[in-house]
Structure 1
């Protein structure tokens, strides 16, 4: 068996001599070469099958009773080998069995953990003597008063390794640890308490002891690392008090008083708290790197990650004019120009053609006017926009040939626009502008592309180590931020082009906001580990616990709960589906219609004002014409009267006859009157209108 091989090799290495203590499982106690002084646990009543059967039946009956009261029980499938059939009642029964507890069973206290294994059982502490004799020297049992497992040991009855008369001294391990962390989503969320309320069940109190202004502020912390800390404390059996980083930094190695003769090198942030023994443990997304490992102890990584680049997805042109994107600006201008050029040529062809310039009688006797310029423009636009043309079509053969060519041109333009618009909706948006850390734009200091990381972080140390990235580091060093939060916010607002940071955090941000994306492959791969003091006795225990968490699926559960949150899949699905046009995309079309309405209203106002002005001019013209006609009539009457009086006067003089009586006629300069009428002015007043402004 394996225990015999281990005891054999340990004996060859002299690890079974005085000064060593071996505590083994029940199976290892029965090894043939088990050394004298060995200690092990043996289950009480292990051979009493009746007691175990009794407790098992009681637990099973209690579980079935509880499930019957709240669940619907179904019969198991007839074919157990059929992998496609799932008996849901069986899974429920297993869950109910795990919840059962028996305080005073035949085999002691009966309870189960999450995996269904029994806990709080009663054990005898067995000491191996000469010739393989097993002697009970204590008990490990469940205490009803303390509600926990207790160990009672008779140390005086124990035979120690190498027949040592006294117990090996060993060393004491503190069980209450001062743990530090730092706010870093999604690993640690810190919520400030201002109203004196308590933290929730999933949160841990984490005060912030500010070393700069000696002010203490209370926070509540939760997240990936906080759940990990809870699991570690349970599995390795320690208590803790949690606090945030005093200066809010992970820690970097700096030189104080560089210009002074006695320059001093020291660590800041979380690392400095461990190095100077002001804390026992760091539970945070602390990157394992050579610089830190020289001064502190790291556990095995609980999360593997690398370095990546976060940037904002390149946006297309303004969504206000999305409907214009299928054609370039130059092509739109050429189409607009072509419409009016074709309209002008149509007008000229129809104007100068002998079959279009003159009015030709139709079959029905009606006449059709020649095509004017406005009708030609209306025709060209109507053909392009595929609208019905009811009037104003060309009549000459030459103009109609051009109209057919223009119709073919319009068909090609409209079909191309429709196809290209569909392509714009279906094709993926460009995801990244950068290809990764080897992108020439990042390494070329002449490019106007700002990139940054966090000051004094593990990423900052990585760039310091890489000689080939020295030029890039010198450029980004002046842009580095104090915190990742501020840098990510600037990326969202477009103030920072690229933020270089841990992949876990940046992938989380990209999952939360689909406008953000990580660029290129990971580089500088490493992992997050638990930080401890150099030579800490908890290092091995924490490492073993983390390895067990990886195997049991605890880490995968934490990933799904805090990091992935099923948001990344939603972003990927959105990228694969075609873009759907909405008001945001087509707002420009509605604005165009609104502009047409406003333009139409403005033009009709101009038309109304112009028409009123024309009516006023027409009225003045009518008055002038009426006055002119009256003046002409008066002149005609005068001419007629003069023409009728002169012959009579000549005839009277020639005959020498004068009329008798009181009536006589006299002609005074063209004025005719009777002698008994009063005298009137010699000349008739004539109204002469001002017709100089009229055009006849």
Structure 2
């Protein structure tokens, strides 16, 4: 049928109406292939029979429409036919306007480049759904779509773009499942998620099957939102909400013709040239394809806004889809009954919805809650006093028995913990270990689990009115221990993404529903889990070991550094040895001696300064004790002695001044002053700072650029947990520990060796972690606010943090404010040094007296022996002076000996004279090879090789005071044996300690 639209006797548009009966495809079995969803027509046959033969007959524009009674998704041949026609017309560049064609597939411009439609696609229903969800305050839904349905895929993408959280996207394949299998599948899927809002996007026939399979989920408490296609089902559940486009097929067709009329008119006015559209599939006009079609299509899209009979404006988006349409919000008052309009959404996005007119599932007037709360929660926590205490038990039921004993007090890690106690478990080496847990976080969890019925310890009365019913938000829980709070880490391999550890990983992997404890709220964690309202605020603080000011025994050494003391001791020995060698090798050592000195010859052996006398001179000058022994004899040694005296004067004066300043002046504060302390900003090599690896404090230092130096410094010292960090601080492995202020103040209050320093920084709070999108998040937050208002949180803080150990005495860290005065306590080390010198001198005096008596006895015995020998050789009549003196001495000694015998003091027989050749520390009986007499040698201790080695070893071991002992003590000395004959004095032999004795011929 052809018709001409006339205006002012001029032909504007030629219209050709073509009716294509769908029964023609269904009856042609050769061109219709049966599939699961209906008959699939032959697209090539449709193109040849309909497009090439009837539509491409010099048509400038084609308008496609369908019957209003037909559902485009209910009968597959209709959709396939329209798709084949629109695709072919797009290939031949003929503009096409679709009226009442809503399938989302036609928005694909790569397949339908010239397609324009006056009805929005089904995927735009999601925008109207989003408005309804926002109005009802539903943000979490379960979406049900059909497999291979592009409308459902676009629907899900539109919901996600508008920040609607889809807990589950259930895609059903209805062709391969029976009704019973579908019921079981929906039962398993819908019971797993907490969202009560179910959004269905499917065609009419599929929706009816889904409603039959989900009868258990269409009652009270659930909300069903249906797309426009799904709202045509005949078994819609009672209380379901749906949307419907406020446009009929006639109005859509009228809008399409209006767009065609205006577009062609504008095209003819703006283009004076005449173009001929293609007349068939074999006839191609390059001018039309390359120029005219594009101009005409643009004129159709950018025409001025047209007012239709309904008062709406015609607008198209970049894909050629109609936008700005009005939707009706419908409500099913009865099961399968008619849908009643309860609201409208205009083209400007303004929603008018009468909530009081809505009948909800189950016939209720009250809106169902957004989420269904699970009544049993898996809670993960970390052992971290005072928030969580735990001790191991053999039986899981033992913790329950403690509840019946009225929560007895149990010693856990040195703290008296009173409970309440709850059973908890931990997986170690694929084996479950059982514990009993308590603490501030555990008791807080217990109070929250009792729900909103418990307010200030009293049971709230239940209201009978439906509007005032309070939802039961109580729950039961099971506790599981973890090793760490968790962190967000980058994957080890490229493209692996983020890796979540600890309690954060448990929540993300759905192995736990809640995480409680000292879990700080930070941006890294908030991306993957939800946090409740804070239940305890804190900051970051520094903990250090308290080192009180003390006066050690070696405080008199503190004015000078160890390096200077070592150099001074080395200088003493060096000067002593140099003086000795200068005096020994100088040829003018006797220039001071007088030839008239009668003792000159006798003093010849003692003129030079010995090594002991040289050391005594060196120490005496340094200690300003005066030199009354021998001084250096040679001129060169005396010059060195003068230089040494000047050096010692300077050193003593400097030491005295520094000692006075060190003891009198106030010392600067050695502890840290906070995060801005120079020792933190520019840490030295011997200062070590630590925190917990991958913790919230660790992330704080990592985020702040100004603390990058501190972060790099403490990387090597970080600890795995707070317990090991505090232990490392106590044993001196680290200098300071940076962590949450609450835990550090708790440790400092219970250990007087620790104290917190500086002001708080990096303020944060502890929150309860839940899975992302958890239904419990608002309820847990409300419970925390309720406990905060009635003072319960303050009571918990007082019980667990401020006074956890009643038997512990408070710490007093006294720091003197005035300068330190010099007193007995400060100089006790000097007095101890004097007392040690007195005791050492007394001991040496006793040893010297004993040694003197022993030598006197030996000399008397030798004299007696020599007198006897002389008498035997010279006879009794000799008048030698020596013989008379010896005889007199022997007679005197004999008388003394007889008196002692008479007094019964001791009895001693005169030893026999036996010549001996072995040399030792004591005199021995030998034959002198020089004077040819049998004598008893005279011994003299000297500084030998053994004493030198011992002194050197003491210096290497930094035992400087002990280095002098081998020089002065005879137990380290060698002994030389001399002839006792006064005229001979021959050196007979030498006893060398730890070496072989030496004999001089």
State the TM-score, normalizing by the size of structure 1: 0.49
Q: Which structure exhibits the higher relative contact order, with contacts defined as CA atoms closer than 8 Å and separated by 6 or more residues?
A: 1
Larger radius of gyration: 2
State the TM-score, normalizing by the size of structure 2: 0.35
